[in-house]
Amino acid sequence: MGVVVGLGVGLGLVLVFSAFAVPREVAETGVGARARDHGRLARLLAESGSSTSSPAGVVVAGAASALAAGAVVLVLTATPTIAATFALLAAGLPIAVLAGRARRRRRELAEVWPDAVDNLASAVRAGLALPEALAGLADRGPEQLRPAFAAFAADYQATGRFEDSLDRLKLRLADGVGDRVVEGLRIAREVGGSELGRLLRNLSGYLRDDLRTRAELEARQSWAVASARLAVAAPWVVLLLMSGQREVVARYQSPAGAIVLAVGAALCVLAYRTMLRIGRLPEERRVLT
């Protein structure tokens, strides 16, 4: 009975964690609607830069993590309820890793977008056509953005369809700032805007100011995030260290012990997610995806 209760509550925790860890979908049209059809995991994979992985691979990785963690803890504690709790917590590890990669990728792109926008503004001011200016970023742009713009250049050269190539560029970038730049270029192409160079220079200045402010705030709150992670991990580390004491482990083999584990896990996840949500800095939202 205790194992069943632990598994049921643990599965609920994993589902709740997944709901917070995976970004919410927004209204999508055009090519973005096709990305929506692949689900939230596909979007998270794109934002983390893991284009070679698939949602099915993430599910398999989560199952493998759960089995590995459950087996190891079961060997250490010989207590199914404890092993089941750790297994279900470990099932969300791949999603947490992907979410962390997505955050790091957003930070890295935020650091290089001002230079890319400056390069693009210089190319436009020099008289280059928009497709040529964008394709030039494959050689002159920041390293992190070159593969996406190289793919755009090849795509546009093969099809000659600027709008479709921009749509596919947005999917490859999977970045809020990239969406704003792409949509600005799309509007300029359609209406023949003469202020594109000034718009790009203003955008570059705004991005640099935002990056400077965000870096200061992240430096100040880094200690709070580290403390929260330590506070969440500490009870479970202590539980593993105490697993060698038979009288302690025996207490978690009963239904009451399984409930204690489930409630403790729920409170840890809830407290950690609440802390992150309260301290989360505003992020650049995707535009028209």
Could you give the CA distance from residue 23 to residue 113 in angstroms, rounded to a whole number? 22
Give the tens place of pLDDT for each residue, 53-91: 788 888 888 899 999 988 988 888 888 888 888 888 888
Q: List the Cα angle 38/43/45 in 5-degree steps.
A: 110
Report domain extents, the chain: 2-91+221-279, 107-209
> What is the pLDDT at residue 203?
79
Give the tens place of pLDDT for each residue, 174-219: 888 788 778 877 877 776 656 777 777 887 888 888 888 888 887 8
Mean pLDDT of the chain: 77
Which range of 26-30, 139-143, 152-156, 246-250 scores highest in mean pLDDT? It is: 152-156
What one-letter code names the amino acid at 209? D
Kindly state the percentage of the chain with pLDDT values over 90.
3
Distance of CA 107 to the CA centre of its chain: 11
Which tokens hold the place of 260?
Answer: 């204690």
The residue written with tokens 């995991």 in the block is 41
Give the tens place of pLDDT for each residue, 92-116: 888 888 888 888 888 888 888 888 8
